[in-house]
Amino acid sequence: MALPPRRATDALAAELFAPLLRPQPPGAGWRAVSHDAEQGLCLTLAQGDRVLLVEFEPRDESVDCYARTRRFNVCVRPRFAGPDLTEAERRLVLGVVAAVRQREGLLPVLADAPAAPPEGRAAVREVSAARVLVPEGRNQYYLNPYAGCMIGCPFCYVGPRADLSRALDGQAPRAWGRWVDVKVDAPEVLRREVRGLPPGPVRMSPILTDPYQPIERTYRITRQCLEILLEAGFSPVVLTRGARVVEDLDLLARFPRAAVGLSIPTDDDAVRRRFEPGADPVDARIDALARCRAAGLRTFVAVQPMLPMDPARLVALTAPHAHVARIDRMYALDRVAHLYDGAGCPEAMTDAFFERTGAALAAGYAARGVHVDALDDLDALLGP
Ligand code: SF4
């Protein structure tokens, strides 16, 4: 059977970063461990355990960033917890920026077209995947079974970056939440990739997609990828807003090491309906978390981004079912101020709210024996 088209972005990113992706001799110092073109353009550089993520977003002079090229804002951060960039690392990143400045003219010029309105028909596109398992340093990987997410949370941070990738691929702009690319050959590609890579933890999924969004019921790409990871000895770390993760409990429970997290950013389903209207109800997600723990999996709750809530109640509802909690605030508030206004709770978008609520959650989870962690170290999350 003929495969659907491969997106142009993978080849464009490989061309843009070509001088930086050349194999380095052993002991040469920094090396590029991976590049990605699904959520903007990213390059991951590593030297031993130190990993830097260099991200290229559409140029916007109103936004602070590390450096700018003619077309991009460049952001850089250590991928795992650690100190700020050293002088040598700053020079390294400036070298990367200079290389991109020289080559960005190779990228297509983008049309300045408005996004289709949210009420437009959703676009499901079958695509062929160039790569599936992406190394992120420290023998960890991430895997996106899909690109795009039809849960469509209005606060989702990835929308503008994914828009850039779609535009580079020549796709018409569409509102976030109204499109998804299905990597129909991802299981086949993954089966080839795992043969040449050392097993390790695999994040499914970081932010570009949700592995248990409704379309998974039709395509089962996530499930097929899990089956291959199980055979090959890799350890999945799944994070979802979809209660249907329990449909794969039989499979997940067969991994020697696997972790499942549910994003549950509020205890109040009225808040959920306003801020995450496409996601499953709060009680369904708590029930899914409980069933994952009862099945013997390592479990975590991601209170991220903190939405209006009663923190003591959220802790009481979730702590019995989670080994670990991750807590974080809302960013890019200007994009979602209307949601807070509509909910009549503008105070919940202040620094004071995030500090107070974060402290109450952290203390509540700690008092119940739930470890609060940034979840960078997946081996620690997975346990022995
Ligand atoms: S479920 Fe996750 S990936 Fe999907 S829109 Fe919401 S925040 Fe974004």
pLDDT tens digits for 231-257?
999 999 999 999 999 999 999 999 999
CA distances, 349 to each of 165, 343, 355, 378 (Å): 29, 11, 11, 30
CA-atom Rg of the chain in angstroms: 20
pLDDT confidence of residue 66: 95
pLDDT on residue 230 = 98
Question: Which one has a higher pLDDT value, 380 or 264?
Answer: 264
How many angstroms does the Cα of residue 306 sit away from the middle of ligand 1?
Answer: 14
- Distance from Cα 347 to the centre of ligand 1, integer Å: 24
The pLDDT value recorded for residue 128 is 94
* For residue 377, pLDDT beyond 90: no
Short-list 131, 105, 113, CA closest to 7 = 131
- State pLDDT tens for residues 264-315: 999 999 999 999 999 999 999 999 999 999 999 999 999 999 999 999 999 9
Terminal Cα-to-Cα distance of the chain (whole angstroms): 43
* Range with the poorest average pLDDT among 14-28, 48-62, 107-121, 345-359: 107-121
Ligand 1 binding site (Cβ under 6 Å of any ligand atom): 149, 151-153, 156, 207, 209-210, 241
Atom of ligand 1 nearest to the CA of 276: 6
Atom of ligand 1 at shortest distance to CA of 208? 3
What percent of the chain shows pLDDT beyond 70?
A: 96
Beta-sheet pairing, 179-183 with 123-127: parallel
Mutate to test the pocket of ligand 1, among 151, 203, 328 (most ligand atoms within 8 A of CB): 151
Does residue 326 come out as left (phi exceeding 0), alpha (psi in the -120 to 50 range) or beta?
beta
Nearest residue to 238 (alpha-carbon basis) of 317, 143, 304: 143
pLDDT given for residue 2 in this prediction? 73
Q: Which residue has the tokens 């040449």?
A: 196
Contact 202, 142 (CB under 8 A): yes
**Would you say residue 334 has pLDDT above 80?**
yes
Residue listed under structure tokens 């249907």: 244
Identify which has the larger pLDDT, 21 or 81. 21
| Mean pLDDT for all residues in the chain | 93
Ligand 1: distance of its center to the CA of 263 in Å? Answer: 10
The rounded Å distance from CA 105 to ligand 1 centre is 32
Residue whose C-alpha is closest to residue 305's, from 249, 341, 263, 362? 263
- Other beta carbons within 10 angstroms of residue 351's beta carbon come to 9
Q: Please list the alpha-helical segments (H only) found in the chain.
A: 8-16, 18-21, 87-103, 159-168, 186-194, 216-219, 221-232, 249-252, 269-275, 282-294, 311-318, 337-343, 351-367, 378-382
pLDDT above 90 covers what percent of the chain? Answer: 76
* Predicted pLDDT at 326: 97
Token pair, residue 306, equals 């903190």
> Ligand 1, closest atom to CA 207?
3
- Our mutation pick for probing the ligand 1 site, out of 38, 39, 156, counting the most ligand atoms within 8 A of Cβ, is 156
Residue 358 binned pLDDT confidence (cut-offs 50, 70, 90): very high
pLDDT tens track for 78-120: 988 888 999 999 999 999 999 999 999 999 887 666 566 666 6
Alpha helices (H) along 169-320: 186-194, 216-219, 221-232, 249-252, 269-275, 282-294, 311-318
**Which stretches of 104-215 are DSSP H helices?**
159-168, 186-194
Residue of the CA atom closest to atom 8 of ligand 1 = 156
What's the CA-to-centroid distance between 348 and ligand 1, angstroms?
20
**Domain locations in the chain?**
8-106, 123-382
Q: What is the pLDDT of residue 173?
A: 84
Asked if the model's pLDDT at residue 371 lies above 80, the reply is yes
Give residue 336 CA to ligand 1 midpoint distance, Å.
14
pLDDT at 116: 65
pLDDT of residue 3: 76
What CA–CA distance (Å, rounded) separates 370 from 366? 5
Residue of 153, 176, 330 to mutate, ligand 1, most atoms within 8 A of C-beta: 153
Tell me how far the alpha carbon of residue 142 lies from the centroid of ligand 1, in angstroms.
Answer: 16
The model's confidence at residue 357, banded by pLDDT at 50, 70 and 90, is very high
The string of pLDDT tens digits covering residues 132-152 is 999 999 999 999 999 999 999
Tell me the fold of 123-382.
Answer: TIM Barrel (3.20.20)
Q: Is the entire prediction scored with pTM above 0.85?
A: yes
Select, from the ranges 17-26, 62-71, 113-122, the one with the highest average predicted confidence (pLDDT). 62-71
- Between the CA of 285 and the centroid of ligand 1 the distance, in Å, is 14
Contacts of 29 (CB under 8 A, 6+ apart): 47
The pair of structure tokens assigned to 32 is: 């590029």
Residue type at position 318: T
Note whether 265 and 311 are within 8 A (CB): no
Per-residue tokens: 24: 């380095």
Cβ-contact 42, 16 below 8 angstroms? no
Distance 154 CA to ligand 1 centre (A): 9
The CA-CA-CA angle for residues 371, 372, 375, to 5°, reads: 105
- Residue 153 Cα to ligand 1 midpoint, Å, equals 5
Give residue 27's pLDDT: 62
Backbone angles phi, psi at 69, to 5 degrees: -110, -175
In testing the pocket of ligand 1, which one of 142, 241, 304 has its CB within 8 Å of the most ligand atoms? 241
Q: What is the arithmetic mean of pLDDT over 10-19?
A: 91
> Atom 3 (ligand 1): residue with closest C-alpha?
209
Q: What integer pLDDT is reported at residue 320 of this predicted model? A: 98
pLDDT at 168 over 70: yes
